[in-house]
Structure 1
Amino acid sequence: MSSIPEINPDELQKCLDENTNLTIIDVREDEEVAQGVIPTAKHIPLGNIPEAVSNLDPDKEYVMVCRSGRRSMNASEYLKGNGFEHVKNLEGGMLSWNGELVF
């Protein structure tokens, strides 16, 4: 079992509503992202995470997102293994997200 904490969609929506200082990273592929992303989310496909790590601040808080939560959990574990302590995974991924989408 993973040691990565999960955040549910309602909790993430509350963080967005309160302008909590967190960065959402969507690790889905381009064609998936074209169907909509959570507002403020950065798109970094899962395969690009290893090269993108050097551009991320390990002291910031991140919420990782994919379609169902599995790929984003892998990305979360990768970040944690590279010194990122404040990483959460969106429980259920975009399949569980009922909030606003941007295209």
Structure 2
Amino acid sequence: MKKLLLAGLLSVGVLFAYNPLNGVKAQKAEAVKVVGNHFITVKTLKNWMKNNKNFEIVDVREPAEWNAGQIDYIETINLPRGVLYAGVKKGRLKPNKTYVFVCRTGHRALLAAATLYKWYDFKNVYVLKGGIKAWIKSGGLVTNAMHLGPVKIQLQK
């Protein structure tokens, strides 16, 4: 009986001690170390677009999110984070090109960029701070499957 009680208490202790968010925080902290100072602001991205800097936007959101609205830029692709490996293997992403990774808030984009830096030796990979939410909040134009051209979207509070 004592062994059963002890096993039960240990199990409960393990359950309470385990916090799945600690894994996410650690993963994000490691990704920030890997990416370093390769974060760009919406203002910088707009300047790159205006000055025709040679880069491509890689939106790592899922297809439904992508279809709802993406940054209005001709060199934008949707490559969800879960299929990055396939994008590299099939030559869709090339180590010598410059990429700006985007997602809803920046977290998935950060993890995607860190993956390319750490495992595939990409050097010109940047993460848009605040993701597409920051883009929209700044008044940046987005396009989506429902419109033929760029539109302004207001974020709901």
Equivalent of 1:47 in 64, 73, 82: 82
What is the deviation of 1:102? 1.7
Asked which structure has the greater CA Rg, the reply is 2
**Higher RCO (C-alpha under 8 Å, 6+ residues apart):** 1
1: CA distance, partners of 2:133 / 2:108:
13
What is the deviation of 1:19? 1.0
Question: Identity over the aligned pairs, expressed in percent?
Answer: 33
Within a 5 Å distance, the mapping from 1:25-64 to structure 2 comes to 25-38=58-71, 39-40=73-74, 41-54=76-89, 55=91, 56-64=93-101
Runs of 4+ residues deviating >2 angstroms: none
- Kindly indicate whether residue 112 of structure 2 is the aligned counterpart of residue 75 of structure 1: yes
Query: What amino acid sits opposite 1:30 in the alignment?
Result: P
Structure 2, unmatched stretches of 5+, are 1-28, 145-157
What is the deviation of 1:50? 1.1
Q: Tell me the matched-pair count.
A: 103
CA root-mean-square deviation = 1.1
2: CA distance, partners of 1:25 / 1:83:
17
TM-score computed with the length of structure 2 as normaliser: 0.63
Higher share of residues assigned strand = 1
Within a 5 Å distance, the mapping from 1:84-99 to structure 2 comes to 84-97=122-135, 98-99=139-140
Query: What amino acid sits opposite 2:44 in the alignment?
Result: E
The aligned residue for residue 142 of structure 2 is 101
Listed one character per residue, the Cα deviations across residues 30-49 of structure 1 (whole Å, up to 9, x for unaligned) are 11111211123111011111
For the residue of structure 1 that corresponds to 2:56, the secondary structure is strand
Higher share of residues assigned helix = 2
